[in-house]
Amino acid sequence: MASRRLWQCKARHPKSQFSVKVGTIMEYSAIRLDNWLVAIWMQTSMKNGVSSWEIKRSLGITQKCAWHMMHRIRLALQDPNTGGKLGGNGNGVEVDETLIGGKARNMHAATRARRDVGRGGKDKTTVLGIIERGGKVRTKVIPNRRKNTLQSEVRANVEAGSAVYTDFLLSYEGLDADYMHGVVDHAIEYVNGNVHTNTMENFWSLLKRGLHGTYVSVEPFHLFRYLDEQAFRFNTRKDTTDAERFALAVSQITSKRLTYAELTGKVGEKPAGN
């Protein structure tokens, strides 16, 4: 092994050198391996997440590098086991949607004008959450809360015949044709026996605490990455220590790469998130 943790290839490319970062989210990164590991630890163990500015201060790197690093870590945190449908444990599945978006009073005037912020949900992003009680949560950015959109996602992710619990949104009407559909009207109550969406509401609370308190500004086209991060921490919250959660994240860093050009190439503008 050469100095600086480099290996010499003696087979196909005798003059080539490579490091342990090759083939991982860290490939072609000038940031030291130990700094990468510290960043992964911080991002997976802090309940409300950690901002790129905090990573910058802790590791002594630029905020731009920290921001790119954290998005590459979020790529590694994506759940590789999303195949199959929920509902198999017999405990029921909660389905709920929420609107994510900055508050107009907290925005810079230029940002407020660019986003055409108004009342209601037109300036916000809709996110659907599906959680199997006692199991994992799945989240997805969706275009709207219309019946066809929501019910298509439910049928794609939940086993037919399962108990499904939702709120009183009219878009969920008709699910009882394939599911044991329980509805709770939040205008009257939040729990009716076993019918509630409190587990999903708990996830939304944790997510928004991080988005508004830690990251402050998240562009809609990056929102799915923050959902992956929060879902990772949420799904490993009970039976996993910080060390085990860190080890799981490190085990998922291979065969994944996210370049800065790919990260900033959408809609012709560079995001200014935290």
Assign residue 119 the CATH number of its domain: 3.30.420
Same domain, residue pair 185 and 137: yes
Same domain, residue pair 98 and 214: yes
pLDDT for 101: 86
Same domain, residue pair 55 and 109: no
Domain final residue pick, 192, 218, 244: 218
Same domain, residue pair 16 and 99: no
Q: Minimal CA–CA distance to 153: which of 217, 222, 230, 82?
A: 82
Same domain, residue pair 149 and 211: yes
Query: What are the pLDDT tens digits along the chain (274 aa)?
Result: 333 555 455 555 555 554 678 889 999 899 999 999 999 999 999 989 999 999 999 999 999 999 999 999 999 999 887 778 999 788 999 999 999 986 654 545 555 555 444 445 567 999 999 999 999 999 999 999 999 999 999 999 999 999 999 999 999 999 999 999 999 999 999 999 999 999 999 999 999 999 999 998 898 999 999 999 999 999 998 878 999 999 999 999 999 989 999 998 753 444 444 5
Report whether 214 contacts 274 (CB < 8 A): yes
| Beta-ladder partners of 165 | 94, 182
For 14, the domain range is 1-78+229-274
> Per the structure, how many domains does the chain have?
2
pLDDT for 81: 78
The tokens describing 222, both together, are 């990056």
Same domain, residue pair 212 and 142: yes
pLDDT for 14: 52
The tokens describing 214, both together, are 């830690």
pLDDT for 80: 83
Helix (H) or strand (E) holding 205: helix 198-210
- What pTM was computed for the model? 0.83
Same domain, residue pair 65 and 152: no
Same domain, residue pair 99 and 214: yes
